[in-house]
Structure 1
Amino acid sequence: MSYRYVDADEREKLLKLAVEFATAPDSFRGILDGRSVGLLFSAPSTRTRTSFWRAAGDLGADVISYGPGDLQLSTGETWADTGRVLSEYLDAVVIRTNGPLDDMRTLAEHLPSTINALSIEEHPTQAIADYCALYEHFGKVEGTRLAYFGEGNNTAAALALLLTRIPGVRCDFYCPPGFGLDEATAALAGAGADWGSRFRMFDKVPDDPDPVDVVYTTRWESMGTKRGSADWRAAFAPFSVTAEVFARFAEPGRTVLMHDLPATRGEEVADDVLDADYSIVRRQAYHKRTAAGAALLWSLGLVTD
């Protein structure tokens, strides 16, 4: 199977499935009995790895987990040869890597089902978890107003590409100069206007913004990234979500904080914001399991109409 993006119809089915799984997870219990799932994580993970392990187990699958040194990839075997061998044993492979999507595409060419659990470019299952957290909290995602703060990283890319396909959504991304979404991703997000959404990217935080439903931020140094410049934190500092910044964008009693975690407290987000009553980061983390279950069911062809 070749690596590909889902189309609009598939995306709608996948999100519907995710909401169904979030609402009644026990109704899917055991549906993957007799299937085997491999978790190939060459990068550190707390939530994504554990959520896929939990979801696969609840669904009845046998699970094997591989760390960065457990496969012969670490001794020079190619992704293609690894994929050919794993295809003899596994029905699906969930992969997280510090490398590019090309590695996953090569692996996917030789496997019946491959799930992108994070690459340098995108983090699609995080976006599904975010969708489910928003749906749970607001009762719908259509019309959501979101302000994102920080780097245009893989989580930001996945969030922008998903939410801009939801009618009426407004996505404003506030990123330090030179650290926004890449041009190709920004162009794809901007094309969401065809779905009735709006995407904008800014390199400064306004003093008097329009209120939003969601303030979203992510870690400034993700994927083990190390900055080349010693003063990069100075560029990021105005984009820190402090209580004052949150209040500037908030509609009292409605606006929530979201963060994909892990958080560097006191850097991209203040303690009193991350731990506030309006923070829904724990429900976001819970819905990583929802996203994992939906991704497994969808990728193995078990999708409801």
Structure 2
Amino acid sequence: MHRPNPVRHLLSLDDVSDEDMYALVRRSHDYARGAVPLTGPLDGRIVGTYFRTTSTRTRTAFSAGALRLGARLVAYGPRDLQENTGEDAGDTGRVLGLMLDGLVARTSGAATELRTMASWNTMSVVNAMTEDEHPTQAVTDLAAMLTTLGRLEGLRVLYVGEGNNTAAALALALTRYRGTELHLRTPPGYGLPTSTLERGAAHAAAHGALIEERHDMDAIPSGIDVVYTTRWQTTGTTKHTADWRATFAPFRVDEALMKRYPDAVFMHDLPAHRGEEMEAGVLDGDRSIAFQQAEHKLYGAMGVLEWCLVGLPC
């Protein structure tokens, strides 16, 4: 077995230092621009993928990324492991760690289960989305912004929609960059958890950045560089109010909103529902980078796998 010392996990961006955050995004961006030779840094490693909920981009990105970097794959479906018969997550992680170098896992609950699996520190565990955070999505998003806009420092981002796991990861990542602004416009009752906002605010205070959340579409800021939304029906979640669609309706990204920001790009983590969270003309318009963003999932996965399993070059 080939394991870094200490074993690195990506369970939450709050566990990652500023320096490692910057390194992850830079490496992903370098993969995106073809600046890294594919010399097989993960040759001899074995990576497991365990997805208990649906995934198109993240599962494909980590599978293809591991193979491109020279690793071999073991894929588990939602009913393949003995957790389904009651085995403790710690026992599952202990056994898998004796055979795998890394595990990329998407669950339907909080990150507690992944932390239990990672507690033996015998394999790297990557959070490929839990209900509270989607850390690899934020690595992808920042790399895509850097590739498209040429910088991260000082960017002004308007996020419109539910305060879901994608929004949480963005709040914990963008606020690490000096002078950035993250303006969250979330429906009433569907904002970010208070603890996530507080952690994002602490990062922002340390880096001269700004994070603020409102539950209306009034007083929209000017000079926005990125307008970002996600689908209203996030994978693995349900709404706690019967009339949620009426609550969400004012938070649709339409052509009128985009016209307020003629120089802004549009981002969406996909999958998208045209006519719900955004108009079709926004997603398919010439300022949308949603599908380039999706391609960056591969580069983000490659950066994360390399960082976790062997470390990044200085």
The one of 220, 234, 238 equivalent to 1:226 is 238
Q: Name which of 191, 195, 203 aligns with 1:180.
A: 191
- Partners in 1 of 2:236 and 2:311 — Cα distance? 35
Residues 78-121 of structure 1, C-alpha deviations (whole Å, 9 max, x = no match) = 11111111112100000111111100000011232111111111
Q: Which residue of 1 aligns with 2:163?
A: 152
Cα deviation digits, residues 113-136 of structure 1 (max 9, x gap): 111111111101110111111111
> Do the aligned partners of 1:167 and 1:197 also contact (CA within 8 Å) in 2?
yes
- Work out whether 1:9 is the aligned partner of 2:13: no
Determine helix, strand or coil for the equivalent of 1:199.
strand
Residue among 274, 284, 298 paired with 1:289: 298
Q: How does 1:141-220 map to 2 (within 5 A)?
A: 141-191=152-202, 192-206=204-218, 209-220=221-232
Q: Distance in 2 between matches of 1:12 and 1:151?
A: 26
Quick one: which of 9, 12, 18 aligns to 2:28? 18
How large is the RMSD of aligned CA atoms in angstroms?
Answer: 1.5
Q: Tell me, what secondary structure is at the counterpart of 2:104?
A: strand
Task: State the alpha-carbon separation in 2 of the partners of residues 14 and 266 from structure 1.
Answer: 34
Q: Please state if 1:102 is matched with 2:88.
A: no
Residue 225 of structure 1 and its aligned partner are, at CA, apart by 1.9
Post-superposition offset of 1:207: 5.8
| SS class of match (2:313) | coil
Higher relative contact order (CA 8 A, sep 6+): 2
Aligned partner of 1:236 among 248, 266, 276:
248
State the 1:21 CA deviation.
2.2
Of the candidates 40, 44, 67, which is equivalent to residue 50 of structure 2?
40
- TM-score where L is the length of structure 2: 0.92
Aligned partners of 2:42 and 2:310 also within 8 Å: no
Output the CA distance in 1 between the equivalents of 2:132 and 2:67.
28
Matched, 1:261 2:270: yes
1:74 corresponds to? 84
> Secondary structure of the equivalent of 1:28?
coil
How far apart are the structure 2 equivalents of 1:228 and 1:158?
Answer: 22
Q: 1:34 to 1:147 in 2, by over 3 A?
A: same
Are 1:115 and 2:126 matched, yes or no? yes
Check conservation: 2:142, 2:152, Cα contact below 8 A. Answer: yes
2:115 maps to 1:90? no
What is the distance in 1 between the residues matched to 2:91 and 2:236? 27
TM-score, normalised relative to structure 1? 0.95
Question: Alpha-carbon deviation of 1:264?
Answer: 1.5
Q: Residues 252-276 of structure 1, C-alpha deviation per residue, up to 9 Å, x if partnerless?
A: 2x21100000112111111111100
Residues 228 and 183 (structure 1 numbering): CA distance in 2 closer, same or farther, change over 3 Å?
closer
Contact 1:29 1:58 (C-alpha < 8 Å) held by counterparts: no
Alpha-carbon distance in 2 for matches of 1:114, 1:289: 18
Cα deviations across residues 12-62 of structure 1 (Å, max 9, x unaligned)? 222222222222266134111110000011111000000001100000000
Name the amino acid aligned to 2:293.
Q
Percent same amino acid at aligned positions? 45
> Unaligned 5+ residue runs, structure 1?
none
Aligned mate of 1:62, from 72, 76, 82? 72
